[in-house]
Amino acid sequence: MKRFTKLMALGLAAVLTFGMTAQAATSPDTTNTNDVGKTYIDKVTWSDSHIVDSKGNEVKADALTPEEVTAVNGAKDNENVNQAIKEALGENFVVKGTVTAFDLSVPKGEIVTVTLSVPELKAGVEYVILHYPNGTSEAPQVIELAARKGNLISFTIVSGSPFALVEVGAEVVDETPAPTPVPTPVPTDKPDWTYTEVDGVWFKATQGGADDFSVEQVEVSQGFIFSSETDAAVKEAMGDKFRVTDNILAAFNFYAKNANGTPVEVWSPKFELDHKYVLVYYVNGLNEEPQVIELDVNNNYESYFNAMSGGPYYYCYIVEVVAEDRPAGVPGNSDNVNDASVPTAGAPGTSPKTGETLPMAGVMALILMAGAALCAVKVRYNKQ
């Protein structure tokens, strides 16, 4: 009985050994390899894969080093790789992505046939092998697959080094038409024009029409530009609903001797075509009321104003203005029939001559005094 048991154990061991030998497939050698490289190795179903030389001897696959993994991951954006793809497949082809990669050591003079089962392969997609005989820092050779059946691919090699299975496809060309470039505005070039720039605003005046034409930049004075006098001048020139903003394009002193109404061109890329701008200036001194000229900006970012004789224009401002609708009852709006600044004829408590509000205590005192006088007259009348 003991002898039979021993014979049975030996028989089972022999069967298991034979079965394992018969079903053996290429398995990767992942000893002492990095986990990053092993993830590529694991993308292959090795139980259904075979790597053998011409004599049928097994050739083991090794995982890549971290540096090699970085290189094959970057194949999609590598110009040398894509140039090799174009030379092998055509100008329209590029790498779309890396599927798997591994390293093989091929004996010198041997021909090795590689058959791999790769579950990630997609139907209708083209794949090639990149072979790096001189290392992943150099351009690879492109090996087209000898056969493909489902998830099985096959190719033949005669030398080792890293290999990468990559997806290739037509290069996507952006056919969206490029936007029409907007021409950069430039000042109109006119002969015989004096040309001066201040704070990004350009001025031109005809030579001979305005002697000693000059523009000098000055500091912005908030007190002048936002004064009640400026507000009134803007409203007089453009309408009650307009006011200046804090968008001041330039502040300068302007001088044009013997100008005689010469047009002065103003040009600046600061202008916005759908906005309104004015020139606010003082003639012969800051004690005078400011003057306002509306600037009509054209499509070339230009406008004009007439330079008059009589000395310099002080504290000139080119400033943006906006329309501001005033609420009902606010003084200054001539379109408002309920303007509080215009008294109504029958309004109680107002002076009929001046429209000013009378003190209510005084009014009540007058009424009481009148009543008392009337009562006194009635008492005298009754006594008589």
Q: How far is CA 18 from CA 4, 21, 24, 52, 199, in A?
A: 21, 5, 10, 20, 93
pLDDT of 175: 65
Are 292 and 313 within 8 A, CB to CB? no
The residues, any chain, with a CB within 8 Å of residue 73's CB and separated by 6 or more, are 98
SS3 sequence of 150-209: CCEEEEEECCCEEEEEEEEEECCCCCCCCCCCCCCCCCCCCCCEEEEEECCEEEEEECCC
Q: How far is CA 110 from CA 54, 216, 334, in A?
A: 7, 87, 102
pLDDT of 294: 92
| C-alpha–C-alpha distance, residues 108 and 345, integer Å | 118
Q: How far is CA 36 from the centre of its chain?
A: 37
| C-alpha–C-alpha distance, residues 249 and 199, integer Å | 8
pLDDT of 357: 45
Burial (CB < 10 A; 0-12, 13-18, 19+), residue 149, is exposed
> What pairs with residue 144 in β-bridges?
128
> What pairs with residue 131 in β-bridges?
141, 163
> What pairs with residue 166 in β-bridges?
98, 128
The residues, any chain, with a CB within 8 Å of residue 110's CB and separated by 6 or more, are 53, 54, 158
Taking phi over 0 as left and psi of -120 to 50 as alpha, with beta for the rest, 258 belongs to left
Burial (CB < 10 A; 0-12, 13-18, 19+), residue 72, is buried
Compute the radius of gyration of the chain from its Cα atoms. 48
Q: Token digits for 41?
A: 């190795």
pLDDT tens-place values along the chain, 384 residues long: 545 455 455 554 444 444 444 444 666 766 656 777 788 888 899 888 889 888 888 888 888 888 898 899 888 889 889 899 898 888 889 999 999 998 888 877 788 899 999 998 888 889 999 999 888 888 899 998 877 788 899 988 888 889 899 999 887 766 677 666 555 555 656 555 566 788 888 887 765 555 667 788 888 888 888 888 999 999 999 888 999 998 999 998 887 776 666 778 888 888 998 899 999 988 767 778 888 999 999 888 888 887 765 566 778 899 999 987 644 433 333 333 333 333 333 334 443 333 444 444 544 544 445 455 444 444 444 444
The single-letter DSSP state of residue 47 is G
Angle at 117 between CA 115 and CA 120, to 5 degrees: 135
The single-letter DSSP state of residue 44 is S
> What pairs with residue 294 in β-bridges?
278
pLDDT of 190: 58
**3-state class of 236 per DSSP?**
helix
